[in-house]
Structure formats: structure tokens, C-alpha cells
Structure 1
Amino acid sequence: MLFKGVFALSTCLILDCFSLVYRSFFGLPTTIKRQDGQIINAVLGYYNTLTGLMEQFQPDYLFVASDHPSPTFRHEMFPEYKGHRPPMPEELRGQIQLIEELIASFSVPLISIPGYEADDVIGTITRYAPSSTHCYVITTDRDALQLVAEQVTVIAPNSKANKVFTPELVKHEMGVVPELVPDLKALVGDTSDNIPGIPLVGPKTAVRWLDMFGSLDEIIYNAHLLPGKAGRNLQENTENARLYRELATIERNVPTYCCWQAGRLEFSEQEVRETLDSLGIRASIPQVG
């Protein structure tokens, strides 16, 4: 197991709920149903992912963070935020409660806070984790790369081999260190979140500017020195750039209602089995601990 054996750290898994829900839904056919006709492809895929992670990491703690259906503080700042995303497929909508039941059967906290996103809950948990704990964030959302640190690793699940984001890999792939990911997104934008970015500023230009000046604030301060149309665009959009960075920055001080010890992984195999039977899933129960 990474880190734990070397440094004798506790291990905490933090799952981005809807990131894995969508991955499960689109990864398995909707022809997977139980006897009453209820589609359960996402439920089955989520169970396989969850239990596979449990067996791989043998975590001491496990949390699931979820988006809240209410608008977030980012929507208040920028109404177009994530405005282009399609609605949830009806075949998936009917499985959400079942997935919540599945999570509850393992006595795992499912944390959702009005006004915030799952990323913010995840960021808060990693910030306040005990110093003796290594956190593994399981998500397909690259926004979470800004959280990567010595004791925070982001795992992007993959059917062949999970991708393990360390600070070194983030720097290699993004061109900047994890803490500068929001600055980078402010300049180039983020289509997945509908953040426009600065016109004509691409990844290479943004990374070059960040290498030269060290941060978005310093780039803005020295914007008069930047050549070409991209430089002029930044000069004309400095307030937008600051807004885009705020949209891209994970809030790490969310008022969560869940104490750390609530995440200690302890579950009743009988309760899990009863839930699986009610969901119409035949699967083994993970051996943890």
C-alpha cells in the first residue's frame, strides 16, 4: 500500500460521489435490471468500484462527498457556471436513492452541504485530516488536482490501471504545481465548468506566464509587459481573471456537520448483505481490516 507501510500513516478514502456515479452509469449497459425491471447498472458499477477500492486500500476512514442540488456560491458569482451541462438521464435518476442506500449500508458518511460542491467538501476533509493520515481522493474531476500534496493523492479510476496523481505528476501533466491549478484555469478557462478564460490565452502561454511571474496576481501586475493580443486581452479582463480563479478554487473551509471519527470504516456484513439482496445484487462483501 502506498505511504502507509513506509510512514505508518492511517489511510482515508474520500470518494467524489457523482463523479463515480456517472462513470458507473456509462460504464455498464442499462440492460442490467433486477427482477422488477428497475435498472441497476449504476448501482452495480458503484458497488464494484467502492468495494474494489476498499480491498485495494484497506482504509481506516472512508467518506463520500456529494454535490448538493441547491445553487452554489459560484452560481451567485457567475450564473453561467456549469450552465451548459445536460440534465441527469432519467435511467440514472431512478438509481440515486438506491446508491445512497448502498453507501448507508456500509455506515459511510455521505456529506452534502447546501451552497457547496463535492469538491469543497473533499477539500475541507483533506485540510482538517489528522497529520498522521494520508488521504486518497477518488475522482475523475481534474479540479481536484489542486488538492494534491505530500499527504493528499488524487486517484483517477480507470478500468485498466488507476492514475495516481502526486505533486510531481500534476506538474508534469498540467505544467504547474497543484496550488497554481486555479490560476491556470483562470487564464485558459475550463469548458467542463463553463469558465471562459482569457481570449487567445492557451495552456502553453498560461504556463509560460506562470513560470515567469509565479502567480496570477503577479501576471496581472505585470500585464503591461505581456506582448501581443493575448497580453492586451488580459489587461482588458483582469477582474474577469480574478473571478475565474475564484470559481476554479476549491473552498477548503466548508462548515461540514460530520466529525472525523464518523468516517472510521466499520460496517455490519449482515446489513450490507440485506441491502444487496434488496437491490438485487449478487456480489461478495469486501474483507477490510
Structure 2
Amino acid sequence: MKTLLVVDGHHLLFKMFYGMPSRIIGKNGKSVHAIIGFTGALLKVINMTRPTEIVVVFDSENGSDRNQLNPEYKGNRVDYTDVPTDDNPFSQLNDIYIVLDYLRIKHFESFNGNEADDHITSYVNSYKNTHKVYILSGDTDFMQLVDENVNLFVYRGKKSIVYNREMVYEKFGIYPNYFADYKCLVGDKSDNIKGVPTVGPKTATSLIDTYGGILNIIKSIELVRKTTLKMKLKEYTDMLIQNYQLIKLDRKIDNPYEGESLLWSSKDMKTLDILRSLDYM
């Protein structure tokens, strides 16, 4: 079976910018630690997954139309507009684009109000019936996409984790098809999405086990035995519906690159050789 590797570019950029030593200086006197980390991690994952096709998707600086649903969505994120270059992950982004072009790996930024997550979801849904698909990201939102042919690759060097359906269940107590519903109930601090007060992981999994997804839980509120829980679910019904719209990854959108343009031919490349070829080191 063919294999598609689809990369959450911003997540890998941030992970490497904040996870690598910042004192690595390139030929031009500027820091190149994120470039080195991004390239090295990507090559390692490529070596581990052996993809036949690769694409890297980044979030656009124009934001997401999800903020029209909830202005507080991702409101806890740092605004890097006035952050000094040395402390700004985006200061090395264009250089990462240059590396990807050198490797002939297609990449693009999200558009039309979509997020990188939406484009990645579209790739997964387009390829999962004909390919083994690996999503390279540490964003747990992608847990909801994991299935028989789809794995979430969380890069941690030698401690990397590749999640399948059973591993998602072992970690959260629910299968991937209910992961979005689970997050709707407990919330998602990383995206500034609030959950139902007093509803933690155990209560959320119990509700899902008993009634199914969010819409079925809402329809079945009167059947909930605990009075306080029933009242909370009633009080926060509108929020749950909004959370589902924010969290559920199911948009059908067109991506700019498909088919042969994503093809990757196996190459034995080393990070430093690539950076030297591009005159960074």
C-alpha cells in the first residue's frame, strides 16, 4: 500500500524553535536552530514512515473563520507581531520553505478561512481508502481522524508515539470517532475552548458510552440520572453545539496539490548536508 505523510507545519516549527538550543548560529550570523530541528525531525519521520507522497501544511497569518463562531477561540495564543526576531518562531519560517523547496516537498498555507487542520483532514479523507496515512503533529485534535489506515505520529525523537485506534482508546477511554465529542465536553485549553463545568474525563466517557455523541447526549438530557449533571448539560447546551462546530474536523475543501505533485522519491539526505548546500552552515 502507498503511504501519505501529511505534516502539521506550524506544530513542528514551534516544537523545534522552543525545543532546540537557540545558540545555533548560521553563516549569516542568525539563529538557525528551528531550521535544523525542523529538517532533522522531518527526515527522521520520513525514514520511519517511508512515504510515497508528502505534503506540509502551515496555518495562514490571516486566521480562521472559526473566530466568527467564538471570538475567544485560540485567544490565548501569543501575538508574535511585535516579538523580537530572536524570540520569534516565524523569523525562520521562510528559510524552512526554502528547505522544503530544495527537498521538492510541496507545502502551502491555509486559505479561505480554513485552518491547516482542515486541509490536513481533507487530505486524510481523500487518501485513507487507498493509502496508509500518517499525520505528523502533536495536536490531539487529530485523534478524531485516526482509523484503520490513519495514524497520528507524535514526534518526540526516540520516544515518538504513533497512535492507532486502540492506543487512542487506551489513553482516553473512547475511540477516535467520539474524540471530538469528548473534547466538546471537557474543553480544550490549548484552543481556549471551555468545557462543561464539573465534567471531567470520566464523566465525559461515561456520557459517551451511555448516549453516544454530543447531539445524542443533548437529545437524551432528560434521561441523565444525576440532577446536577443534567442541569449543567441543559445550561451549557448552546456551548456544546458551538464547541462541536469548532472542534469537529469534517470540512470538505479543495487542496492545491494532489496526486503526482506530492510524490516523494526516497533520498538518503543528511540535515547538515542540506543546510550547507543552501549556504546556511
1:95 match: secondary structure: helix
CA distance in 2, matches of 1:112, 1:218: 36
2:193 match: secondary structure: coil
Shift of 1:32: 0.3
Number of aligned positions between the proteins = 272
1:62-110, CA deviations, whole angstroms, 9 ceiling, x for partnerless residues?
1101111112121111111000111346332211110111111111111
Q: Are 1:228 and 2:227 matched, yes or no?
A: yes
> Which of these residues, 44, 55, 75, is aligned with residue 47 of structure 2?
55
Range 108-117 or range 190-199, more displaced = 108-117
Question: Structure 2 unaligned runs (5+)?
Answer: none
1:111 match: secondary structure: strand
CA distance in 2, matches of 1:274, 1:51: 11
Q: Are 1:69 and 2:67 matched, yes or no?
A: no
Corresponding residue number in structure 1 for 2:109 = 112
8 Å CA contact 1:28, 1:42 repeated in 2:
yes
Shift of 1:10: 0.7
Shift of 1:229: 2.4
1:120-175, CA deviations, whole angstroms, 9 ceiling, x for partnerless residues?
11110010016331011110111111010111111111122211110111111111
1:205 match: secondary structure: helix
> Which of these residues, 75, 78, 85, is aligned with residue 77 of structure 2?
85
The percentage of counterpart residues that share the same residue type is 26
Q: Are 1:205 and 2:203 matched, yes or no?
A: yes
Q: 1:268 to 1:160 in 2, by over 3 A?
A: closer
CA distance in 2, matches of 1:19, 1:137: 11
Amino acid at match of 1:194: N
Q: 1:279 to 1:27 in 2, by over 3 A?
A: farther
Q: 1:33 to 1:275 in 2, by over 3 A?
A: closer
8 Å CA contact 2:28, 2:280 repeated in 1:
no
> Which of these residues, 84, 91, 94, is aligned with residue 91 of structure 2?
94
Alignment of structure 1 residues 137-176 onto 2, 5 Å:
137-176=135-174
TM-score, reference length from structure 1: 0.88
1:31-58, CA deviations, whole angstroms, 9 ceiling, x for partnerless residues?
0011321110000001101111222222
CA distance in 1, matches of 2:183, 2:120: 19
Range 249-258 or range 31-40, more displaced = 249-258
CA distance in 1, matches of 2:40, 2:162: 19
8 Å CA contact 1:198, 1:234 repeated in 2:
yes
Q: 1:211 to 1:130 in 2, by over 3 A?
A: closer
Amino acid at match of 1:18: H
Shift of 1:231: 2.1
Amino acid at match of 1:110: H
1:161 match: secondary structure: coil
Amino acid at match of 2:69: M
Corresponding residue number in structure 2 for 1:280 = 280
8 Å CA contact 1:12, 1:134 repeated in 2:
yes
CA distance in 2, matches of 1:127, 1:95: 31
CA RMSD of superposed structures (Å): 2.0
TM-score, reference length from structure 2: 0.91
CA distance in 1, matches of 2:274, 2:100: 13
8 Å CA contact 2:8, 2:56 repeated in 1:
yes
1:94 match: secondary structure: helix
CA distance in 2, matches of 1:112, 1:34: 26
Shift of 1:269: 8.7
Corresponding residue number in structure 2 for 1:284 = none
1:245-281, CA deviations, whole angstroms, 9 ceiling, x for partnerless residues?
11011134122121222110148999x9676433424
Q: Are 1:260 and 2:252 matched, yes or no?
A: no
CA distance in 2, matches of 1:268, 1:190: 39
Shift of 1:29: 1.2
CA distance in 2, matches of 1:81, 1:186: 13
8 Å CA contact 1:187, 1:206 repeated in 2:
yes
